[in-house]
Amino acid sequence: MVNALDFGLVLLALGVLVGGTAWKLRRASLGTAEDRFGDLRQRLGGLFDAVLRHHRILAQRPEGLHHLFVFVAFAVPVVVILAVQVAFSVPAVLAGFLALALDVIGCLGLYGTWRLYRRRYREKPDRLDERPEDRWALLLLFALFGTGLLTEAARVSMTGGLQNLWNPVGYALSVPLQVLPEGGRLLLVKFLWRLHLVLVLLTVATLPFGKLGHVVFGTLNVLFRNLGPKGAFRPVDIENSEYYGVGQAEHFTWKQLLDLEACVRCGRCQANCPAYNTGKTLNPKKVIQDLRTHWNAKAPLVARGQADAWEDPLIDGAGVTQEDLWACTTCRHCMESCPMHIEHVDKIVDMRRYLVLMEGQMPQELVTLNRNLENNFNPWGVGWSDRNDWMARRGVSPRVLPDEESPEFEVLLWVGCAGAYDDRYQRVVATVCRLLDRAGVSYGVLGTQEKCCGDPARASGNEYLYQSLVAENIGVLDGLGVKKIVTSCPHCLKTLDKEYPQFGGNYEVVHHSAFLLELLAQGRLKPVKGWDARVTLHDSCYLSRYAGLVDEPRAVLRAVDGIELVEMDRRGTENFCCGAGGGRMWMEEEGTRINNTRAEEALGTGAGVIGSACPFCLTMLDDGVKAHKREEEVSVLDIAEILEKATV
């Protein structure tokens, strides 16, 4: 049934597909350089997981399953059609099974498309917006799957025999067609076949230009996803860069611009954003879409070397406001839930860098934060010479390694700024010290030689200050020959473990939840009594999504007899943020507070103890419990404090 015209249409459709894709990729290539080409095997493995297994898409049910139906119903017949039209013959023994599979797949495609249409236009969840391209894409898919089944029905109406039972749907639909004369049915077969072929080719040709563009650009975006340490921000070349951060769209990397094309506006980032869900202006989906609109308008000028002719600024001009940028808690939930692997947080931090380093603009609270870090190497601005005072105050005496000559030790305990200066978290670090003493661990601290790891500076855009702190800390650590570091702060964990190697600081860094669990497994720590308590565990964003530590804190809690662990609905890597990350710990929050929302969720479990494994989370949840006036009934404790109750 295929003639020269059909082959011409196929070539035309493929030509438009390739040309449109190349045009948009050339536009993305106007961004700055970035190496995303290494480890092809891992990239292809991830692509298989994302596309064929629908790993992230299926995380949201039932719409993820409906999308899978549509994907299979589109992809499989296209492959079969192409194979058959290139004179590939299907063995007779397989023909029946293939016919049955195509019938079933076509029905699944229709069902999946109907459910997606119903969800968008009848259920109308908040995270889905409406554009004409959405409706046209779904209607095109309806027509595609419908004409496929009708074509099969018309073909079956022309033949007889038991082999038609391999096409149960086509056979059922062919029954009414029997009233037509044979000539009419033949014409119907030819018409429906041509119509179906045209719809297939129309879909293929328009892939780069509409709603279905994620088939192309989403696939490429997954292929070129970041394979580096999760959550590590790209370093800035302070010495040789002409500008810092991103203040113009063309300053984004080519991969960041490809992100803009890959966005399918599914709204999963929006649905999981703690800022958006507590009434802030930040909407990660809108940020990506606004940047896309801005870039699409500016790109032609950039391509012609006329970028200076563009007058609208990227920030406070492209729909992305400073208020949006500073509302981000860098919780990474948007990125982890995005099926296209779009990197929202990195863009936000890059734009913060521009504001701070190029424009000198930041909220007043962050001005104070940065001044404190510059003058006293901690966010609170307490004198750096007082960094050891917590030890005497809390009745512990860890070795201060820089005071010893050629010290030998098993691990370095990274106290962190909260452990040294925050009254509440001093008790947690002291508890960790006592547990390490009981386990016979040879450890020590840096004392006054320890400076802030730099996380608040980097997350809030001050890369210059961050790198200064990093250089000083690495000098001290390397001078002592540190190999292994234990920290109770997930922010320090992420920074020391994933970002210090960017500057030559390579250490084994372990969170205290994992280290305590290791000591329990080795028998070096032995709970000797139980503690009857109903506990719910809040997962730190930086511990769960950044470090992948979800089971370890729970295993520590389960090591204590008598504890009943009750879970919140949002937990593990799907947790809800405490609101303190990204520099927000030191900033005022307008409207509904994120920590109060999370505290309410924890209180709803009926637990008498809220467990934590992060100094920021501990403070924010404690404040949240007090805001709900439940501090007399509910305690907020670190997992180390809970474990200690069973080991004394």
Q: What domains does the chain contain, in order, with CATH numbers?
A: 4-223 (1.20.950), 249-358 (1.10.1060.10), 372-521 (3.40.50), 533-647 (3.40.50.10700)
Best CA proximity match to 331, nearest among 257, 291, 275: 275
State the helix-helix crossing angle for 284-303 and 344-353, rounded to 10 degrees: 70
Highest average pLDDT, of 9-18, 122-131, 351-360, comes from 351-360
Of 86-95, 237-246, 395-404, 607-616, minimum mean pLDDT range: 86-95
* pLDDT greater than 50 at residue 397: yes
pLDDT of residue 167 exceeding 80, the answer is no
pLDDT value for 90: 60
Which residue is listed with tokens 């924010």?
Answer: 620
Q: What is the pLDDT of residue 558?
A: 95
The pLDDT > 70 percentage for the chain reads 97
Q: What is the mean pLDDT of residues 381-409?
A: 93
Q: Of 145-159, 319-333, 377-391, 459-473, give the lowest mean pLDDT range.
A: 145-159
Which residue did the predictor score with more confidence, 616 or 76?
616
Supply the mean pLDDT for the chain: 92
Identify which has the larger pLDDT, 177 or 622.
Answer: 622
Give the residue-averaged pLDDT of 528-552. 95
Tens of pLDDT, residue by residue over 2-16, are: 577 877 888 899 999
Which range of 69-73, 410-414, 529-533 scores highest in mean pLDDT? It is 410-414
Is 646 or 353 the better-scoring residue by pLDDT? Answer: 353
Taking alpha carbons only, the member of 541, 562, 532, 545 closest to residue 613 is 541
Nearest to 346 by CA among 295, 291, 424, 294: 291
Q: Across-strand partners of 399?
A: 444
User: Coil, helix or strand for 568?
Assistant: coil
Residue with tokens 């869900």: 277
CA distance 495 to 233: 10
Rounded to whole angstroms, the Cα distance separating 124 from 107 reads 24
- Start-to-end C-alpha separation, the chain: 83
Q: What is the pLDDT of residue 87?
A: 46
pLDDT value for 100: 84
pLDDT beyond 60 at 220? yes
Closest by CA position to 422, among listed 386, 468, 461, 476 = 386
Query: What confidence tier does 297 reach under pLDDT thresholds 50, 70, 90?
Result: very high
Place 74 in a pLDDT band, splitting at 50, 70 and 90. Answer: confident
HSE on the CB side for 282, CA within 13 Å? 24
Percent of the chain with pLDDT over 90: 76
- Can you say whether the dihedral through the CA atoms of 263, 269, 270, 275 is positive or negative? negative
Q: Is the pLDDT of residue 85 over 70?
A: no
Distance between CA atoms of 506 and 508, rounded to whole angstroms?
7
pLDDT at 98 over 90: no
Strand-pair partners of 636: 610
Supply the pLDDT for residue 256: 97
At 89 the pLDDT is 59
* Cis status of the peptide bond prior to 62, with omega within 30 of 0: yes
Across residues 497-502, what is the average pLDDT? Answer: 97
pTM: 0.93
4: left (phi over 0), alpha (psi -120 to 50) or beta: alpha
